[in-house]
Structure 1
């Protein structure tokens, strides 16, 4: 006999959260491994605009972060060829140089202590939407982690290699987890690598959905309270880890060279 069919929605949500805590495990991956996997996940998800874009994660020492080497595409990143740099982009570990555009990552990390990972890319649909100078509109359930959580920078400040661009972008981001950069691309942040990776996948899907919907008619808004509920429900750490684990397993099937040491992903 069923016992939950008359329970309130809030009760069922709390029950599901407890079950996720019990059943959704976490994999013992290093920051380097998570970052390398994120590069491959992003590549497979359409974030493949040549050498454009940077993915980074804080290092263990203050004022340091890992990022990819300039000259390598996302599909070439492994846990062993990542760089560790300081805020001035001096290389502390690894060979080669960081992308000079990583400078605005330093500004964001300084402004946001809650941010531990940044994914900035120029994927096709997000870049196309950015050309219209309109904000990202979240109007479909799957993309609600970005609801009321994506800022918009309408003015293009030029190539982001100067401190001015770092100030502008970090200020425009504010306390949001994501931002659409007009005539440029997207940037997402996360308290974890897993969270940032998931949002990067989602923002490109959201941009594609918006372009398709705009071509067919007028995008209708979501009810605010329900959208906020969905945002919070889909933004938990456990969900981020579970989603990332799925993307990571898929990426490793496509790119078995990504990790150079054994790792269990569950």
Structure 2
């Protein structure tokens, strides 16, 4: 006879989380390898837009971070061609220069000690949604890691090369993990590279679903308490790591050299 059919939902959730944390395994990659994998995963996921977009992660040395060299597409990034730069965007290690738009990453890292990875891209559906000057609407269970966790900057401040844009974007982001930038694109943050990568893929999917739903009718909200419950259930460090592992396994056969 089954033994769990009368167990309360909260207890079942706790048991499942404990089992996931105890039994699911994570692949061990270096920070640079995870960053290179993220570039390739996002390229395959439609986040490539020529030379636009930046992906960064904190480096071990204080006030420095890794990023891709300007002039390279996401599909060209490897662990060995990443740069290490300081908060003035001076290259400390590696060959090349960073994207000048990395300046607003500096502002976010300074404002958010909890953030260890930032992804900013201009994918197709996020970019289309951004032109409507409406916030992202989370109205589906799968998208709930973004529930009440995506800010909105409704006024485009221009190219994000100056310190003003850094102040505006970091201020609009606040303590949330993601932000939709009107007439621009998206930005997500994570305590880990894995978390940020998963959120970036999810945000493009959310924008695509929103545009599709808006074309059919009015989107209906989900109950706040259920949105928060799904947010906390889906978005955990273990689940992010395991999901990232799946995306990496899917990408590696087509991007064999990125770990070098």
CA shift for structure 1 position 259: 1.0
Task: Tell me which residue corresponds to 1:245.
Answer: 245
Distance 2:255 2:221 in 1: 39
1:161 Cα shift? Answer: 0.2
- Give RMSD over aligned pairs: 0.5
Q: Does 1:195 align with 2:195?
A: yes
Distance in 2, matches of 1:253 and 1:172, equals: 39
Distance 1:210 1:253 in 2: 32
Q: CA deviation at 1:26?
A: 2.1
Structure 2 residue aligned with 1:12: 12
What is the alpha-carbon distance in structure 1 between the residues aligned to residue 247 and residue 7 of structure 2? 33
1:46 Cα offset (Å)? 0.5
TM-score (ref. length: structure 2): 0.99
SS of the residue corresponding to residue 79 of structure 1 reads: coil
1:28 deviation in Å? 1.6
**Structure 2 counterpart SS, 1:186:** strand
Residues 74-110 of structure 1 show CA distances to partners (whole Å, capped at 9, x for unaligned) of 0100001000000000001100100000000000000
**18-27 vs 167-176, which moves further:** 18-27
Off by >3 Å, runs of 4+ in structure 1: none
TM-score if structure 1 supplies the norm length?
Answer: 0.97
Partner of 2:225: 225
In structure 2, the gaps of 5 or more residues are none
SS at match of 2:92: strand
Aligned to 2:115: 115
1:142 CA displacement: 0.7
The runs of 5 or more residues in structure 1 that have no matched partner are 261-266
Instruction: Measure the CA separation in 1 of the matches of 2:91 and 2:104.
Output: 16
**What are the superposed Cα offsets for residues 164-222 of structure 1, whole Å, 9 maximum, x if unpaired?**
00000000000000000000000000000000000000000000000000001011101
Separation in 1, partners of 2:94, 2:60 = 16
Structure-2 residue corresponding to 1:165:
165
Q: What is residue 41 of structure 2 aligned with on the other side?
A: 41
Structure 1 residue 247, shift from structure 2 partner: 0.5
Corresponding position: 1:133 with 2:133: yes
Aligned length: 260
Q: Distance in 2 between matches of 1:52 and 1:208?
A: 20
